[in-house]
Amino acid sequence: MPDVVPAAGNVAPAFERARSEGRSALVGYLPAGFPTADGAVDAIHAMIDAGVDVVEVGLPYSDPVMDGPTVQRAAEIALDRGTKTRDVLATVAAVAGRSVPVLVMTYWNPVERYGVERFARDLADAGGAGLITPDLPPDDAGDWLAASDQHGLDRVFLVSPSSTDARIDIVAAACRGFLYATAVMGVTGARGAPSAAAPVLVQRVRARTDLPVAVGLGVSDGAQAATVAGFADAVIVGSALVRRLLDADTVASGVAAVGRLADELAAGVRSAGEGSADRSGTPPARSAVVQA
């Protein structure tokens, strides 16, 4: 196996910094190319300015099996504007200089078409931290495991409430950065309350790995972020941020709305950690709750 080349922007330092401050991290997702190429970059900068600790850049895809209607609509707009894989990499490069790690979240087909080793090389050259692959199981990820090792990239695979303990072990062994556990059997999208299944799944995964765990769907405001941050190491928000751009009359007003929501989410995450580095009543957990 080739030596692993350290990546400049892996996510571990962001999680470690948040833990050292006795709080959860805030992770924000937005797709590249939406509402425009420049608008996506501006919105990501607005998230970072507001306190997001880790960024996920979505690669727009025509057949998103995991995404709900909000992210699907944003992807359609981005694709209609001609967004390509190289534009996603350009978005990563445009925001990676902010000392905040940047991951790409993508279905596997675009990476395979682009070329696995070429994608890993170009992502690393753009300053990217790694890849989240919702439809790629580690069993079928031999090329990606090799390429991510070669270029020092984090790789994030998924488990669900139906995953056996043996399956969790397989996924955890293949992950680097954090593990993504879907706490509901459904698509992404903001919900009225965080999934009640999240703490149960967190505990199952925690018992089998020391990796941070990305869990569930549904965070949409500061109060929900605070609730999730009470038992998790990171709160990851996607559809609620995308919705701010979809509902805006102009790109500029949408970017401003993204910044305001990110500021509210950051305040919620930080409020949950005030006065205690142990928010769950148990040893500090390496876990995250994801709504992407």
Whole-number pLDDT of residue 260: 98
Half-sphere exposure of 18 (CA within 13 A, CB side): 33
Whether 267 maps to a domain, the answer reads yes
Give me 68's structure tokens: 């709900």
Domain hosting 270: range is 12-275+282-291
CB contact set of 9 (below 8 Å; sequence gap of 6+)? 96, 100, 101, 102, 127, 128, 129
Single pTM value for the model? 0.89
Whether 4 maps to a domain, the answer reads no
| Catalytic residue (one of 42, 56, 87, 122) | 56
Q: Give the confidence band of 276 by pLDDT, cuts at 50, 70, 90.
A: very low
Catalytic, 274? Answer no
Which residue type sits at 146?
A: A
Whether 167 maps to a domain, the answer reads yes
Q: Give helix 165-174 / helix 198-206 axis angle, nearest 10°.
A: 70
Whole-number pLDDT of residue 282: 41
Q: How far is CA 76 from CA 37, 60, 91, 106, 111, in A?
A: 14, 7, 17, 15, 18
Whether 123 maps to a domain, the answer reads yes
Catalytic, 117? Answer no
- CA 269 – CA 147 distance, rounded (Å): 34
At 27-38, the pLDDT tens digits run 999 999 999 999
Whole-number pLDDT of residue 183: 66
Which residue type sits at 229?
A: A
Q: Give the confidence band of 66 by pLDDT, cuts at 50, 70, 90.
A: confident
Whether 229 maps to a domain, the answer reads yes
Which residue type sits at 232?
A: A
| Catalytic residue (one of 3, 16, 49, 67) | 67
Q: Give the confidence band of 4 by pLDDT, cuts at 50, 70, 90.
A: low
Whole-number pLDDT of residue 37: 98
Domain count, the chain: 1
CB contact set of 94 (below 8 Å; sequence gap of 6+)? 41
At 168-197, the pLDDT tens digits run 999 999 999 988 877 654 444 444 555 677
Of residues 20 and 235, the one with the higher pLDDT is 20
- CATH number, domain at 142? 3.20.20.70
Q: How far is CA 240 from CA 74, 103, 292, in A?
A: 12, 19, 9
